[in-house]
A and B are shown apart, each in its own frame.
Chain A
Amino acid sequence: MPKDHGIGASPKRREDVRFLSGTGNYTDDINLNGQAYVHFLRSDVAHGRIDRVDTAAAAAMPGVVRIFTGADFEGVGGLPCGWQVTDRHGQPMAEPGHPVLAQGKVRHVGDPIAAVVADTYEQARDAAEAIELDIEELPAVVDMKAALRDGAPKVHDDLAGNLCYDWGFVEENREAVDKAIKEAAHVTTLELVNQRMVANPMEPRVAVGDYNRATGDHTLYTTSQNPHVIRLLMGAFVLGIPEHKLRVVAPDVGGGFGTKIFHYAEEAFCTFAAKAVNRPVKWTSSRSEAFMSDAHGRDHVTKIELALDAENNFVALRTDTHANMGAYLSTFAPSVPTWLHGTLMAGNYKTPLIYVNVKAVFTNTVPVDAYRGAGRPEATFQLERVIDKAARELGVDPVALRRQNFITEFPYATPVAVEYDTGDYNATMDKLIEIGDFAGFAARRAASEAKGKLRGLGVNCYIEACGIAPSNLVGQLGARAGLYESATVRVNATGGLVVMTGSHSHGQGHETAFPQVIAEMIGIDESMVEIVHGDTANTPMGMGTYGSRSLAVGGSAMVRATEKIINKAKRIAAHLMEASESDIELKDGQFSVAGTDKSVAWGDVTLAAYVPHNYPLEDIEPGLEETAFYDPSNFTYPSGAYACEVEVDPETGRVTIERMTAADDFGNIVNPMIVSGQVHGGLAQGIGQALLEGCVYDENGQLLSASYMDYAMPRADDLPFYTVDHSCVTPCTHNPLGVKGCGEAGAIGSPPSVVNAVVDALQSAGRDVTHIDMPLSPARVWAALQG
């Protein structure tokens, strides 16, 4: 019987009632008395010198409060980068300035030049059109390899060139890897593109700045995955506001997918301008603005070489990647192609020698940063594609080749600096083959062929490092922040609990899953637990939600705080029952004395804590409220095996996904329904990347896929019914819940299986196709079929 409450049960998501009934409170729902509106005048050229910005005529337009330009921000810090990567030669990365409003030059289409604050949004927009601009257009660099050539136009004139860093990992392995590849029995080489993506959360970004003249307090309401991080970055590095005078609120947030982690210019602007004009200032991104101002994702160009010995054992792996940073360094951009990518190149395999080279490059494009999976999808895609190609070259079964090279003993220290604590890759592969009905594939292929279609089956494995992360480790790797999480558990007099967590929920279901954990620990109903998040004024300093870390890190902090609560409550119960503390047991919300029939209810104890008439005041403080900070000792390592079955229409090149199967090991599971939902969403984004989505610039840096007319978001009918399973469980060994994280798996694990399946389908028809770059649009697949 499945459980009906506590850990392992699947209660419906309580937050969905407000999300689905239009009663959520999103940032755009916040309207403050007297608020003004800002419209940003953005560059329509990719690269240009700003010769003149004349705002005189515009400032006289109706309703205009004030117009700001880069000059207004000369005394203000630029947007900081939160991660410093050290290159192969021990030198720090090139780190250009990132002004709130452009100063001297514009560097990508969408770069903000001026900001008009007016009584209404339309007036702000009207006035922006009256700003007189002289911008001398300069040659733009878009292609990464072209950007690194001598004489290429420089995105930042004060840097030596467009190279941000040339990173080698592990640099000491380089010669050994070169030698092993040179001497290997077989080397499979693949060149591929992991295309640029636009996250496109349903809710565009919004910021509302407010300033209280009476107290000097600033408040920023913003669409963020991590309000405390925004408070720290913006307060300390941009505007010079101490944390106790700055409150950041991220209320209901309609999807993040990474792109709402970062600190953006618009947030700093609204906070700054609210004080400058002494009115609240609001900005709501249009969808068109989102395409050219939200940080993009992925955008890697890679050559990967896999060397095998005569027995098909993997002996060495070498990768050479160019990673696009865009025009500026977004908050965590440098970490994505390095520490979130290079460290994952071992995958599920015991390849002894690995060398990863990444050149990060500045171009005249929107900045690129983390997007669901962040570095790990890029690592998984190239590795699982090159293994598939190797299997085909060697004429061996792709599943058998993977199994032969699986890591089977744990803990396992990879040659790329991480140690996997647990996993069972054969178990998830066995489960995949069972639930994906591999045995029936031949018959399904025959049925497809009878209809004139080609059918392919593609498989891949994945591993990810999430639950990020041990602060001392990431500090050594260049992170400029800690990556712990916090929780305060406040028990009320009548027994209800409020958990104030530093994690942030923007669709993940924390408000439902976190109470399940507490309900299990105390033995009370989940409805007695409320989750509070998203406001720096009433939650402890937390690092927010990304990298599949909420339950593994934030949940662990909540468990630690709840353990403190239970320990104190037991001492109170012992006093009430005149028993020894060591004899007190807590079960089903009752404290009892072991070996007796004496008991007191949870509510009796909590009431005693706040009405301490009969209470050991000399030994225990009244009240029942505890805080814990949890810093993990390692990453967590979810893993799994995915399979995709496609039909290809050979006449049109159109690919349809007929089956999509995911067998994941997420460690222990708190709410299986929510986990399935997270996998479903990840699969939609992974399939979106594989078949549909792609952000395209022309050679002048104009964004061609600037709206949904050309940027293909997956729709429901593009997606199949999924078969997902997470019954293979190897619990994480180092967090109290034994959980690993599930938020990114679907997006990491699915693109290679889709591409592997299409290649399999085309090869089944005798076509010599070994790779097609994503998205596998009908036009690209048809072109591949033509040879």
Chain B
Amino acid sequence: MMHFSRAGSTSRMALGVRCAHMAGRFTVAGFILLGVVASQASASAFDRNVEHYRTQIAEDIGQALSGARRLRDCIAADDLEGAKKAWISARGGWERSEVFTSGLVPELDEKIDAWPKSTTGFHAIEAKLFGAQQTGVQSETDALIADLAELDAKLRDMPLPPQALLNGLARLAYEVGESKSDGGESRLSGTSLDDMRNNLLGISQAYHALFSEALAASDPALAAATQADIETLKALLDAPGLAAINSSHLRKASEAFVITLASMAPKINLQKPVLEEFGK
């Protein structure tokens, strides 16, 4: 048997201890935090799968990066419509990689996807392109390209611990159920629904690349239930527009999916996913 890539687990463990210490005598808080401690579960085919997943997210980040470079070219040519298209393409790649980015590269996530204080990143550019209808986003775009390039380089050899990826997956699954009645995060470009769909694609991609095989081997019924949850979410997001989404059904489906993921974790030798990022 191979073993999981455990790099990064030491600091995560230390963090878990710190958090548990903060929560002090509150055993329930300690219980909630149990999952923060990285899994010491035994090995699986995960190491092989994770390399496959790495190539997939490299493609997504590659799409984000090439979109951002195209955006720069369009800006230089003062092509507003082309710039908007390039932004949307870059955004799609980024949103699909969110399973991994929010937990494993929080410092880059903070710059690339800054919100609501968006002086840099996607939303700063979005506000000018889609809101103000102007292409004066040279410096923001250069910064975005630099950040995405750094992410692209980092991804090549950074450890991708399974627990962190399961955490990211569950966190994003919970987020998909958040109310978008205010227009959602990308409300100026009107692409919040695309964000959600790309999030779900990223979730599905990560689940299939990393966990579905192991789960099907240990609990086929649960594997089928997980797939059914993903399909339910997909169907709910298949709406003509954001306002047509049944948000109550979507919320229910997202929460049910997170609950399924929690019951899946022990079957693949991982801890219950933690729905928050505790940073470094």
Asked if A pairs with B, the answer is: no
Report A's interface with B, CB cutoff 8 A. none
Report B's interface with A, CB cutoff 8 A. none
